[in-house]
Amino acid sequence: MIANCILEGRQVRLRPLEERDVPLLALWFGDPEVRNWTHLSEDPPSAQTVAGHRERYHRMRADPHQVRFCIETLDGHPIGDLGLLDIHPHGRAELGITIGDKAYWGRGYGADAIRTALRYAFGEIGCRRVYLITDEDNLRAHRCFAKCGFVREGLLRAHRLRYGLPLNMLIMGVLRSEFEAQ
C-alpha cells in the first residue's frame, strides 16, 4: 500500500510514493554504490530496469501490509524512499530506507526521515516495535539507526547475498516506550 498522508520532519517531507517516482527508483538503485547497501543487489539485471521497478511499485501498491513513502527535502527535491513493511496487527513493523541521491548522504536527512516515520508508526499505526535488518558492514547506517533509538538485537549469519557472496546482517529494533523516552 502506498501512504495516503504527508509527514513533515525538520529536514524532510515523507509523501506518498507515486508512479512518477519509478524512474527515480531505477536511477537510484541503478547506481552500484547505492544498490550495494540494499537487498536489491541480489536482483537480476531485468529487475533493475524502469520496467522492473514499475512492476515492483505495483506490487507495493497492492500489499496492504506495508506503507511506502518518497523522501523529499522540504523544498520538494526527491532524495530516497522509505517503507514500513510487514506491518503486523500485533504491533510491529519493519523499517526500510534508502537515500538514493548520494549528495544527501551523511547530512542528517535519513535520520530525520526515520524519526518522522517512527512518530507515524508508533502514533498513527499503533506499533509497539519497529525493527530493521541492515548489512553488518554498513557502519554509517548503524550510527544513523542508533541515533534514532535503535539497538542491536542480533546477528543473522550469511543472511543475504551481495553480488553472490554471503553477507551477515544485523537486526536492530526500537520500542515505542524507548522512542517516546528520547
> At 2, is the pLDDT very low, low, confident or very high (cuts 50, 70, 90)?
low
Question: Taking the CB of residue 15, how many other CB atoms lie within 10 A of it?
Answer: 19
Q: Over the stretch 160-169, which tens digit does the pLDDT of each residue have?
A: 998 889 999 9
Tell me the mean pLDDT in the region 109-133: 97
Q: What are phi and psi of 81, to 5 degrees?
A: -135, 155
Q: What's this model's pTM, rounded to 2 decimal places? A: 0.93
Ranges of each domain in the chain: 7-181
Among 2.60.120.580, 3.40.630.30, 3.40.640.10, 1.10.10.10, name the CATH number for the domain at 7-181: 3.40.630.30
Give the count of alpha carbons within 13 A of 158, CB side only: 3
Query: Tell me: the pLDDT tens digits for 38-66?
Result: 877 777 776 677 887 788 888 888 899 99
